[in-house]
Amino acid sequence: MTRDRIISRFIDVALLATLAIGMWMVFFYAPIESEMGIVQKIFYVHVPLAWNAFLGFGVVFVSSFRYLATRDPRWDARALAAAEVGVLFTTLVLITGPIWAKPVWGIWWTWDARLTLTLVLWLIYAGYLLLRRYVESPERRAVLAAVVGISGFVDVPLVYFAIRWWRTQHPQPVIGGGSDSGLDPRMAATLWVCAAAFLLLFVALFRRRVAIEQMRRDVDVLRDSAEGSAA
Q: Does 229 bind other proteins (CB under 8 A)?
A: yes
Q: Does 186 bind other proteins (CB under 8 A)?
A: no
Q: Does 199 bind other proteins (CB under 8 A)?
A: no
Neighbours of 103 (CB within 10 A): 13
Helices and strands in the chain, H and E counts: 7, 0
Q: Does 163 bind other proteins (CB under 8 A)?
A: no
Residues 99-138 that bind other proteins (CB under 8 A): 99-100, 102-103
Closest CA to 199 of 13, 57, 18, 8: 18
Q: Where are the alpha helices (DSSP H) in the chain?
A: 3-24, 43-70, 73-105, 113-134, 138-152, 155-165, 185-230
Beta bridge partners of 37: 33
- Please identify, using beta-carbon distances, which residue of 139 and 218 lies nearer to other proteins: 218
Q: How far is the CB of 147 from other proteins (least distance, A)?
A: 26
| Distance in angstroms (rounded) separating the CA atoms of residues 231 and 227 | 6
Q: How far is the CB of 154 from other proteins (least distance, A)?
A: 26
* Contact between residue 60 and residue 155 where contact means Cβ atoms under 8 Å apart: no
- Please identify, using beta-carbon distances, which residue of 46 and 78 lies nearer to other proteins: 46
* Contact between residue 43 and residue 31 where contact means Cβ atoms under 8 Å apart: no
Beta bridge partners of 33: 37
Q: Does 208 bind other proteins (CB under 8 A)?
A: yes
- Please identify, using beta-carbon distances, which residue of 123 and 210 lies nearer to other proteins: 210
- Please identify, using beta-carbon distances, which residue of 175 and 219 lies nearer to other proteins: 219
Give how far the C-alpha of residue 104 lies from the chain's centroid of Cα atoms, to the nearest Å.
25
Q: Which stretch binds other proteins (CB under 8 A): 54-62, 93-101, 123-131, 134-142?
A: 93-101
- Please identify, using beta-carbon distances, which residue of 40 and 63 lies nearer to other proteins: 40
Closest CA to 170 of 54, 43, 56, 45: 43
Residues that bind other proteins (CB under 8 A): 38-39, 41-42, 45-46, 49, 84, 88, 91-92, 95-96, 99-100, 102-103, 201, 205, 208-209, 211-212, 215-216, 218-219, 222-223, 225-230
